[in-house]
Amino acid sequence: MTAQTTTPASTATQLPFAKAINAGLDAALAGDPKVLLMGEDIGPLGGVFRVTDGLQATYGEDRVVDTPLAESGIIGTAIGLALRGYRPVCEIQFDGFIFPGFDQITTQLAKMHYRSSGRLTVPVVIRVPYGGGIGAVEHHSESPEVLFAHTPGLRVVSPGSPQDAFVMIQEAIASPDPVLFFEPKGRYWEKGAVDLSTGPYASGGTSAQAPAEADAFDTLNKAVVARPGTDLTLVAYGATVATALKVAASAASEGTSIEVIDLRSISPLDTTTVVESVRRTHRCVVVHEAPTFLGSGAEIAARVTEQCFYELEAPVLRVGGFHTPYPVAKIEHEYLPGLDRVLDAVDRALAF
């Protein structure tokens, strides 16, 4: 694998994250009659974050389905539909609500392909608004991605820009594998350039062509260099990509050149792009909102250390959440890896 830089075309439209995902879902629904959406309040309301706004009016109640409050039932139904040839996309209203469906995901959805010796595919996408920064109450700001990344058989991805959100949701739907699609809800309203002609469905793919067309984009497998640099590698994904870019801009004003890697996918993990970057910069800091204890940063730090031991000039550092329940809204800024905490880690790595 090699690093890529996503560059929207000059005809790109400025869209917020949520609208980019909406446009990607729209493209998939239009391109494949077997695609359907399921979730609580996703119909006339358009979901609590309005990500599915207007889609039921366009595609009808049979393809954009309002479901009861029953996450295990939603995912179990999606598994059955996928085995009958559909491509269901489930919306979990908030990250902390995914746990009632945890058993369906990890013991059924993840293992069906292996259990059938490869004869069955289960192309289910589970969209999960995750992470903090919106001042929400308990069970509304968690980052459980590593719980699913630890389970073989699941793809676990999180876009870091509106352009990637638009393409990656199409790729997730086109994928024959089950995909956990973690959406950084704190970034839903941030705008970015989106080329609406890209992606396996938006570029003209049909139900039969889309999986093959997805190979042309491959954003589910490859990390991207979001900003080149020479002094230190900052690894992030999803919500923390924007934070990492702000850190790099701030450090640049003081003469430090930071390379930002947007992982895009936590499982599979594109170690090659990270290692290539660290071999150029010789220092590495990993940033994520989930607790650092046994988190994705621990895996990345171990892999970088194993493969770059003689090139490293400082230990790999991690900045993330603490090993506590997500705090109340008034102090969540202390929990989240903000600009100052990440810059402190950068300074410690550079001074080592």
pLDDT (tens place) for every residue of the chain, 352 residues total: 344 455 566 678 999 999 999 999 999 999 999 999 999 999 999 999 999 999 999 999 999 999 998 999 999 999 999 999 999 999 999 988 999 999 999 999 999 999 999 999 999 999 999 998 888 888 888 999 999 999 999 999 999 999 999 999 999 999 999 999 999 999 999 999 999 999 999 987 665 555 555 555 678 889 999 999 999 999 999 999 999 999 999 999 999 999 999 999 999 999 999 999 999 999 999 999 999 999 999 999 999 999 999 999 999 999 999 999 999 999 999 999 999 999 999 999 999 9
- Which one of 113, 140, 150, 333 is the catalytic residue? 140
**Structure tokens belonging to residue 3:** 């690093």
Q: Which residue has the tokens 């995750």?
A: 130
The tokens for 7 are 């560059």
- Residue 211, preceding bond cis, omega within 30 degrees? no
Q: What is the pLDDT of residue 215?
A: 56
CATH pick for 224-351 out of 3.20.20.140, 2.130.10.10, 3.40.50.920, 3.40.50.1580: 3.40.50.920
Distance of CA 298 to the CA centre of its chain: 18
Integer CA distances (angstroms), 178 to 9, 111, 190, 288, 311, in order: 30, 10, 27, 23, 37
Start-end ranges of CATH 3.40.50.970 in the chain? 16-218
- What 3-state class would DSSP assign to 232? strand
Q: For 16-218, CATH number? A: 3.40.50.970
- Which amino acid is present at 121? T
Assigned token pair, 313: 């000039």
Backbone angles phi, psi at 283, to 5 degrees: -140, 150
| CA separation for the pair 212, 224 (Å, rounded) | 21
Q: Quickly count: other Cβ atoms within 10 Å of residue 330's Cβ.
A: 8
* Contact between residue 67 and residue 101 where contact means Cβ atoms under 8 Å apart: no
Catalytic residue at 140?
A: yes
pLDDT attached to residue 1: 39
Q: Could you give the angle at which helices 271-281 and 296-308 cross, rounded to 10 degrees?
A: 60
Round to whole Å and give the CA distance between 149 and 183: 15
* CA angle centred on 109, ends 106 and 115, rounded to 5°: 100
**What is the rounded CA–CA span in Å between residue 128 and residue 185?**
9
How far is the C-alpha of 202 from the C-alpha of 30, rounded, in Å?
9
Q: Give the predicted TM-score (pTM) of the model.
A: 0.94
Residue 135's region, left for phi above 0, alpha for psi from -120 to 50, else beta, is left
**How confident is the model at residue 209, as a pLDDT?**
58
In the chain, CATH 3.40.50.920 sits at 224-351
What single-letter amino acid sits at 68? Answer: P
Judge contact between 322 and 333, C-beta under 8 A: no
* Ranges of H-type helices in the chain: 17-31, 55-59, 71-83, 102-103, 112-115, 145-149, 162-174, 210-214, 239-252, 271-281, 296-308, 332-335, 339-351
